[in-house]
Amino acid sequence: MREWADFELVEGESGPVLRVSGPLTVAGIAPLDTRLRELDDIAAIDIAGITAIDTVGAWTVWRSATRMDAQVTGASDKATRLIEAVKAAENTAAITPPRSRLMERVPEAVGIKVSEMLVGMKDMVGFLGTTIVAFGALIRHPRRFPILALIRQIELVGVSSLGIIGLMSFLIGIVVAQQGAVQLQQFGAEIYTINLTGRLTLRELGVLMTAIMVAGRSGSAFAAQIGTMKLTEEVDAMRTIGVSPIERLVVPRILAAVLMMPLLGFYSAVIAIIGGAFIANFALDIPFWTFLSRTREVVPMTDLYVGLVKAPVFGLIVAMSGCYQGMQVSGNAEEVGLRTTLAVVQAIFMVIVLDAFFAVFFTEIGWA
């Protein structure tokens, strides 16, 4: 049967004395603690009659003594040490660690971030090299090629994303055509809305927005899937039985993204042009089919080539970032979320940087 702590009030020389008896432990102190909160004006707390004490009991005694400005008497050596430890911990709770000056913290934080970025770039290049070696091994041994995994990833990256990419592109085409028409109307050049919509979607927005959508949809899925497998030791189990995780997990995902990005980018550009033609039919009185036929006349083939050249590179960046961050997961489930977020941010940042590079490059070679 559980024994509970109890107390009684007696008169002492300097006032009421609270005599505590029983075990002052976490298991038996609950009723005592509730009753102690109702007391006031106690001169001393006598704990000579307790049978056991732990940190919770010591904290209860010290808190009650502090609140009622009472002395603690009859404490054994163990009780005294615990009460002093609780008192010391309470007194040091407000101490804050020293903090360096702002002019020192900012350069230090920037240096750490730059160092981490350089290490990450080096590791990413190493991961790319490992993937290329694995792909070369699959070419030399085609029977090991995970064709079913590739087909599955093509379905997930490409076919399953047609709906959301189509809706996004249609709305972007409407926005580009409507806003472009509003600005061009000031110069009586509404007809050039067709040129603006066609060239902008085929050359830039189609493939760029598709890459961002794939990064948020498929790149994050790559990181989460591989990261979860890494966390549950499935990746280690694959290595144990002689199966290369790079060949089975990474290569199919990268190939699927590289193969599907040109098709998705072209699909996105076409749907965006249809969206522009749709809004032009109502806002500019340009017939729907006239808009489409005029687009074919004013948009050069080089714009299509620019989009098709950029798309596989963007697909490679998105898939590489997702797979790399997934393979870096270790420790706990929180790491999966952190790496997934990092994969999406990293992929979108690199895609935008490369898009700027491509814009300058194609202008220099005359594909403007």
Write down the residue that tokens 């193969």 correspond to.
259
What is the DSSP track for 181-210? HHHHGGGT-GGGHHHHHHHHIIIIIHHHHH
The pTM of the full predicted model, rounded to 2 decimals, is: 0.72
According to DSSP, the residues that pair with 22 across neighbouring strands are: 50
Strand pairing of 16-24 and 71-73?
A: unpaired
Local structure of 49: helix, strand or coil = strand
Mean pLDDT over 333-341 rounds to 91
Residue at 108 is within a domain? no
Amino acid residing at 337: G
Residue 238 DSSP code:
H
Amino acid code (one letter) for 266: F
Number of domains in the chain: 2
Q: Are 28 and 53 in contact (CB under 8 A)?
A: no
Rounded to 5°, angle at Cα 345 from 340 and 351: 125
Residues 152-169 have a mean pLDDT of: 94
Q: What is the pLDDT of residue 207?
A: 94
For residue 310, being part of any structural domain is answered with yes
Distance CA 127, CA 88 (A): 52
Same domain, 128 and 38: no
Shared domain check, 267 and 183: yes
Check if the beta carbon of residue 266 is closer than 8 Å to that of residue 309: no
Shared domain for 134 and 15, answered yes or no, is: no
Are 356 and 312 in a shared domain?
A: yes
pLDDT at 354: 94
Rounded to an integer, the average pLDDT of 332-358 is 92
The reply to whether 96 falls in a domain is no
**Cα–Cα distance for residue pair 258/246, rounded to 1 Å:** 16
Across the beta sheet with 6-11, the strand order is 6-11, 16-24, 44-53, 71-73
Tell me: do 137 and 198 sit in the same domain: yes
pLDDT digits (tens, 9 = 90+) for 104-160: 888 888 999 899 888 888 998 999 999 999 999 999 998 999 999 999 999 999 999
Is the domain of 75 the same as that of 125? Answer: no
Percent of the chain with pLDDT over 90: 53
Q: Is residue 267 part of a domain?
A: yes
Estimate to the nearest angstrom the gap between the alpha carbon of 275 and the chain centroid. 33
Q: Do residues 193 and 144 both lie within one domain?
A: yes
Of 68, 126, 191, 101, give the one whose Cα is nearest residue 328: 126
**What is the model's pLDDT at position 77?**
84
Per-residue pLDDT, 79: 82
Quick check: 56 pLDDT over 80? yes
Domain that holds residue 80: 6-91
Average pLDDT of the chain?
88
- Does 82 share its domain with 159? no
Specify if 102 maps to a domain.
no
Q: What is the pLDDT of residue 352?
A: 95
Q: Is the pLDDT of residue 365 over 60?
A: yes
265 plus 329 within the same structural domain: yes
* Closest to 226 (Cα-Cα) out of 111, 349, 131, 304: 131
**Residue 262 φ then ψ, to 5°:** -60, -40
C-alpha closest to that of 316 among 268, 253, 358: 253
Q: With beta carbons less than 8 A apart as the criterion, state whether 28 and 34 touch.
A: no
Q: Cβ neighbours of residue 247 under 8 Å, at least 6 residues apart?
A: 134, 137, 138, 144, 146
Question: Are 183 and 53 within one domain?
Answer: no
Which CATH number goes with the domain that contains 12? 3.30.750.24
Tokens of 187: 């110069």
Percent of the chain scored above 70 by pLDDT?
97
Q: Which range has the worst mean pLDDT, 52-66, 267-281, 334-348? A: 52-66
Q: Which two tokens stand for residue 82?
A: 């615990």
Q: Which residue has the higher pLDDT, 160 or 333?
A: 160
Between 66 and 164, the higher pLDDT residue: 164
The pLDDT tens digits for 174-194 are: 999 999 988 888 888 888 999
User: What does 248-304 look like in DSSP terms, one character per residue?
Assistant: IIIHHHHHHHHHHHHHHHHHHHHHHHHHHHHHHHHHT---HHHHHHHHHHHS-HHHH
How confident is the model at residue 31, as a pLDDT?
Answer: 76
Tell me which of 25 and 317 has the higher pLDDT: 317
Asked if pLDDT for residue 10 goes beyond 90, the answer is no
Q: Which residue has the higher pLDDT, 97 or 110?
A: 110
Note whether 168 and 275 are same-domain residues: yes
Residues 342 and 214 placed together within one structural domain of the fold:
yes
Q: Burial level of 351, CB count in 10 A (0-12/13-18/19+)?
A: buried
pLDDT over 60 (residue 93): no
Q: pLDDT tier at 62 (50, 70, 90 boundaries)?
A: confident
